Amino acid sequence: MNYALVTGGSRGLGAAICKRLALQGLGVIINYRSNEAAAKAVADDIECAGGCAELLPFDVSSEAEVDAALEDWENRHPEDRITVLVNNAGIREDNLLIFMQTEQWHNVINTTLDGFFFVTRRILKGMLTKRYGRIINIASLSGLKGLPGQANYSAAKAALIGATKALAQEVAPRKVTVNAIAPGYIKSDMTKDLDESTLKKQVPLGRFGEPEEVAALVAFLASNDSSYITGETISINGGLYS
């Protein structure tokens, strides 16, 4: 069976992505760090709809945890393979740079960039061997535009976009595509503390996006229909930054 691994898949965008990929007939591996109840709820929803899902807890920023968890999964699934990887795990710890603590800088950078590196490196070998794969990195408007109070988050997501472009060229000969998605303001746990009523006035479409709208784009990039798209960063922001 072909599987999709979604990091940070227990809530918000990740949960919507997991559910949408399951509708495409993929088994879904829901990664989470600590919220098992939320991850199990996503798996239950997928299974109730006739799909296949399983939980795989690990901290994406820990090389040891990533390797141990994925090795265990591979040993338990000798006939299956991960054909889709969605690097979605990320955190926000906003602050003006002058007041930003060292931990705030490293926590955000490590989750996004170390997470991308450790997980992708581990999964990539199988994709290259089988000459097929879809890697989708969840970046951000912040990584394209830069947002005040988010020097750490903007840096992490901008770097993720750069890594996407580089890796896409490395693996294209093996028919593995690598793309990034840069959401703007999307209703999720990551944006629940923002002033939606004020910020949506900046958006030409006049609203925040829905997680399911991002998930639909992920599903397209994960499909065979996207086989000639690689190295791209696709914005989904209601026209906020075009």
Residues involved in catalysis: 153
Scanning the structure block, which residue is given the tokens 């992708």?
120
Q: How many CA atoms lie within 13 A of 105 on its CB side?
A: 8
Token pair, residue 41, equals 């709820």
Contact 186, 211 (CB under 8 A): yes
**Would you list the DSSP string of 16-52?**
HHHHHHHHTT-EEEEEESS-HHHHHHHHHHHHHTT--
Q: What's the sign of the alpha-carbon dihedral 86, 224, 179, 121?
A: positive
Question: In sequence order, which residues have a C-beta less than 8 Å from that of residue 178 and are 6 or more positions away?
Answer: 135, 136, 137, 164, 167, 168, 171, 230, 231
Scanning the structure block, which residue is given the tokens 């090389």?
63
Contact 95, 139 (CB under 8 A): no
- What is the edge-to-edge ordering of all strands in the sheet holding 176-183? 53-57, 27-32, 2-6, 81-87, 133-138, 176-183, 233-236
Cα 156 vs. chain centroid, distance in angstroms? 13
Contact 204, 238 (CB under 8 A): yes
